[in-house]
Structure 1
Amino acid sequence: MGVSVKEAMQIGGLVNCKVVAGEKGLHRTIDYITVMEVPDVIRWLKGNDLLLTSLYPIKDDPEAIGKLVQQLHDVGSSALAIKTERYVKQIPEVIIEAGNRLGFPIIEIEDEVSYLDIMTPLMELRLNKSDLGKEQLEKFFQWITELAMGGKGIPALIEAVQQMTENIITVGSEVPALEGISWRKVVSPLTRAQKNELRIAKRSIRMDRVLDDQITPCIVTPLLLNDELYGDVTCWQTKREFVERDFLVLDRTVLLMALEFLKVITRTDVEQTFKDDFLSEVLTGNVVDKAEIIEKGKMFNWNLSKDYQVFVIAYSNSAQPIVKHENEALWFQERKRKLLLKVNDIFRFDVQKAIITVRKELIVVLYHRELAAEAGMLPYTTDPNNGAIMDLAESARRQLSQEFEELSFTVGVGRFYQGLEGIHQGYKEAVKAIQLGKPISGKTGCVHYEDLGIFRVLGQVNDWKEMEELYSETIGKLVEYDWSNNASLMVTLREYFANNCSLAETAEKLFVHVNTMKYRMQKIEQVTGCSVHDAEKRLLLHMGLKIDQILQSGNV
């Protein structure tokens, strides 16, 4: 049970404060007390709130100040108490006017009165008023704890909470092994914005969601593990309106739900480790007995006698992460787990799933070529243009980028081969596409091994002694000359080859005169001893540039 604003003005620190507007609303009931620390605090309010603020978060935003009282009134808040002197000398007239017009109490907090002077006495009074419900709540908490410790599982917990709240309870899950429970109700999934809202709030908040095609008020409690959202517990207003104890019930229940989720996640992690270790032999080509490997694969419901298209996904922090994390290692571990869940969801068709494994911070996807062809996702035979394959890779990259904005992704694709040996070869090529694709060809996002061109050959070289000597005899001389003379012969030569050896087009791209280009080409010939008019020498220069790109990429 709450207290009226009028009663509150006779308690604790509010005794030394005064109502400066909206006296007609003194009958409003206060159930919650909130401090305004961020500009968009309105979204976190539950209704019947007393909002305490210095106006600091919006002091330089006249529009936000002008809308504040109306917004509080619209969400069913009780009163606004503003601390003056520190950031605002007096309560803005626009707030006074809105308070009187809406009958919404505006309270001025004296400078010497702290927020705690107001909050503590009011909370004590409210707790004393709710003593009659304490015993019932404690019995309920004991009951659900016994259910959880007794291994009754999530359905039993939901049933108990439904009895307590008298409303429908559903559980949403982002863990495939732990499907959400909706009691034959059609529940709209949380939107991306709603998920972000829950991650930020880290507590139960009011929302409007769709239940059985009807927009329904609800309380949504996030199920967080290491600050990652793995699910939600939602109480739908289907029978009675919400009261404060519903929030307490959900907050306590979600802790027990989290234990159930943690059991499943831990079991999934262990199973994933076994999968990773097993597939490591296949990916590295260390298969001694193919029949034995195929038989072992059946333990995970894999049919390794079929043919697979290999995708490899590399991920890393963006140059400027959206959020700084205190424990970067733990955060990245959780990101990896959520990534695996999302990748599993993306590479799924009908009842079949792709084989997903992790190797050296890369996510490897073995996509069943035959089943994908039957589903119309990929051609079974070789696709000359690799169009469908790259469309699928780009779709996956785009979905991952949207879900994990703080990470950047590159997808490498190998050529399609058959059998276990084909998995090994496709994996090698997909990794090479990632290693060489972005730094060498400048491609980002998705790279197919076939698009590497001559680098497919250079990337296979194991002994680089001859290559380095060729580089030193040609391009290495240009690099040294440019450094010593502050010149740009390397850039000139690259552009020359990029423009099909056209002096005019290269001059236009470099914004220089054709005569300047002629002089630079003569200088290149003088420094390297290689003429671009000699086919053999021109090839040496071209190869030298390619070797330079590989050396610069660090993939030797």
Structure 2
Amino acid sequence: MALSVRQVLDLEAFQTASLLTSQHTLLGREVRWVSVIEVPVEDFVRPHELVLSTAVGIGHDPALLAQFAREIAEARAAALAISIGPYTPAIPPTMIEACESVALPLIALPWESRFSELSEAILQRLLHEQYNLLNRSFTVHQQFIQLILAGATLSKLTQVLAEMLQRIVLIVDENGKILAHTAPLEDDLAIRVQKALSLVKEEAARKLSSPIHLLPDIHLLLVKVQVATRLCGYLIVPFTHSSLSQLEQLILEHASTAAALCFLQQRIADEAEMRIRDDFVWALASGNVPSLEHAIARGQLLGYDVERRYACFFGQVEIPENGERLVTEQLVRHILSVVAEQARQKHLRAMTTWVSSTLIVFLEVRRSEKMTEEVIRQAMQWLSLTYPETTISWGIGAVRPGFENFQQSYQEARSACQIGISVYGPGQMIPAREVAMYRTLLAVSRDPESRAYWERYIRPLLDYEQAKGVEMVRTLEVYLANQGNVSETARHLHLHRQSLLYRLQRIEQLTSCHLADAQERFALELGLRLYLIQGVEKR
């Protein structure tokens, strides 16, 4: 802990000293060290030093003495003490005026005062204050550690810190959301906090970041709270002056450590709860819950009501191989949190979990399934703005009464999602009822003879595509989807009518099927569907 100039003058060794400047408010300036110096000053004086000097060589020249004082002030010294004697018989008024103009306390010392004794007195007092500071720091550290061991919350931590600092204290997360505070907050505080966070982020971008940020323009002090390299939030203290005492700085550093431990404890508890919730929802989906009674009891502990009607939504998250983002737990958790928030806004219950890059969501169904589907659509609209490179494909299971619906709806949703990606491409939301035919074909496709069947019709088209670079399979798919309407097919494929007719003629030649013949057209479409369904088995 530093001394003040006033405390130095109160030392016994300085009882014969005289303060020559009149600005007594400057006597509160901190003295952290003492040095003895003569001219030149240059870089030999550090901030907060009390400078002792005889002014040898310049003591008889008022102009040089005034310049000497200004140079000492520029070095941000705490005060200047001149020994009155042979080298400086008296302090001229011009030097006193110079000290007044640069806000530098000027002290006159009798020639008999030994600099060694003065330095010793200051250093002994500084060591004593430093010892007291270390003791106080240790006490504060122990107090915060005891709070954490006792399971103190962030609210309790802010109360204790506010009592130590005698100031308002609040804690915010990394986005500026207020988590705890100790007194009614000013109306503009939220705006000031956001502005402070922007300034701190700018400092971090310029690699000027430090744990404690004094922001005098908006009257806030911010202290980083982080666990390892992960930023958790900030301690924020509104203040009216632009400096901190050493004790205040130590208190804030210890409080930051304690807050980090609070965040870490909460994070561990949240992750444990999330794992329990994930396990429960996965057990519902996979049918590993022994009974309805067991599910009801366990669900109640987690805040779930499994006796309501739910539809399962199975999502597959995909990111381009050249994308900068990876499918991480953080990304998947955020997607699920957005879905849960959309459900909450519509007053619908949601149960979620994830496995690797797949999402499992059970959404409550009340009046209609369309409302439930709208929850996912709105969530996807919001997420498309945040993660434009991310594609999410969804399958929707049916809703039916009975506890067994959880597993059945999950299986249907999973199958619908996989079929949707293979048949319609990624990024679609496909209800199970719309791919019932493909689910039947999927069962048929597992028969070894099914491959020979589709190879008979589709392999010639694939070989032609590879040789000529013409999308024959896609052409056939769109033509059949438009029920043989040539004009509509040409419009969808952006082809001239004659170009399409030529392609259709080539398809007939390659497959030995006449598209005008209903039976042959059915055989060809069955082969196409069996081919398209192959991608599901690979997922």
**With structure 2 as the length reference, what TM-score do the two structures score?**
0.62
Partner residue, 2:155: 155
Unaligned runs of 5+ in 1: 14-23, 31-126, 209-214, 370-379
Letter in 2 for 1:382: S
**Structure 1 residue 297 and structure 2 residue 299: aligned?**
yes
Alignment check: 8 A CA contact 1:478 1:527 kept = yes
Select 2:402's aligned residue among 419, 429, 452: 419
Select 1:546's aligned residue among 523, 529, 535: 529
Partner residue, 1:382: 368
What is the distance in 2 between the residues matched to 1:406 and 1:131? Answer: 57
How far 1:168 moved relative to its partner? 2.1
How far 1:447 moved relative to its partner? 4.1
Deviation per CA, 1:169-217, whole angstroms, max 9, x where unpaired?
A: 2223599xx9922346467498799599499678657699xxxxxx964
Alignment check: 8 A CA contact 1:166 1:239 kept = no
Partner residue, 1:237: 238
Partner residue, 1:397: 380
Change (3 A) 1:513 1:305: closer
- Pairs within 5 Å for 1:343-358: 344-348=340-344, 354-358=350-354
Partner residue, 2:360: 364
Change (3 A) 1:493 1:2: farther
3-state SS of 1:234 partner: strand
How far 1:497 moved relative to its partner? 3.3
Alignment check: 8 A CA contact 1:441 1:452 kept = no
3-state SS of 2:367 partner: coil
How far 1:226 moved relative to its partner? 6.5
3-state SS of 1:531 partner: coil
What is the distance in 2 between the residues matched to 1:518 and 1:220? Answer: 72
Letter in 1 for 2:351: I
- Pairs within 5 Å for 1:501-540: 501-507=484-490, 514-540=497-523
Partner residue, 2:84: none
Alignment check: 8 A CA contact 1:417 1:425 kept = no
Alignment check: 8 A CA contact 1:316 1:407 kept = yes
How far 1:533 moved relative to its partner? 0.6
More divergent stretch after superposition (461-470 vs 243-252): 243-252
Alignment check: 8 A CA contact 2:155 2:182 kept = no
Alignment check: 8 A CA contact 1:206 1:217 kept = no
What is the distance in 2 between the residues matched to 1:247 and 1:430? Answer: 57
How far 1:338 moved relative to its partner? 5.5
Letter in 2 for 1:468: R
> Identity percentage over the alignment?
20
Letter in 1 for 2:281: L
Letter in 2 for 1:264: Q
Alignment check: 8 A CA contact 1:450 1:456 kept = no
Unaligned runs of 5+ in 2: 1-29, 33-39, 47-69, 77-125
Deviation per CA, 1:325-354, whole angstroms, max 9, x where unpaired?
A: xxx8xx934555556655554543599853
What is the distance in 2 between the residues matched to 1:255 and 1:461? Answer: 62
Letter in 2 for 1:234: L
Alignment check: 8 A CA contact 2:445 2:534 kept = no
Letter in 2 for 1:542: E
How far 1:254 moved relative to its partner? 2.8
Change (3 A) 1:29 1:340: farther
How far 1:459 moved relative to its partner? 4.4
Partner residue, 2:179: 180
Letter in 1 for 2:502: Y
Partner residue, 2:66: none
What is the distance in 2 between the residues matched to 1:539 and 1:428? Answer: 29
**With structure 1 as the length reference, what TM-score do the two structures score?**
0.60
Change (3 A) 1:423 1:286: same
How far 1:423 moved relative to its partner? 1.9
Change (3 A) 1:425 1:516: same
Alignment check: 8 A CA contact 2:167 2:238 kept = yes
What is the distance in 2 between the residues matched to 1:203 and 1:345? Answer: 35
3-state SS of 1:474 partner: helix
Alignment check: 8 A CA contact 2:172 2:236 kept = no
What is the distance in 2 between the residues matched to 1:507 and 1:333? Answer: 44
What is the distance in 1 between the residues matched to 2:284 and 2:511? Answer: 46
Partner residue, 2:255: 253
Change (3 A) 1:311 1:249: farther
Change (3 A) 1:338 1:146: farther
More divergent stretch after superposition (497-506 vs 391-400): 497-506
Deviation per CA, 1:238-272, whole angstroms, max 9, x where unpaired?
A: 55556486676545433322222222322333333
Letter in 2 for 1:233: Y
* Paired residues, number: 420
3-state SS of 1:310 partner: strand
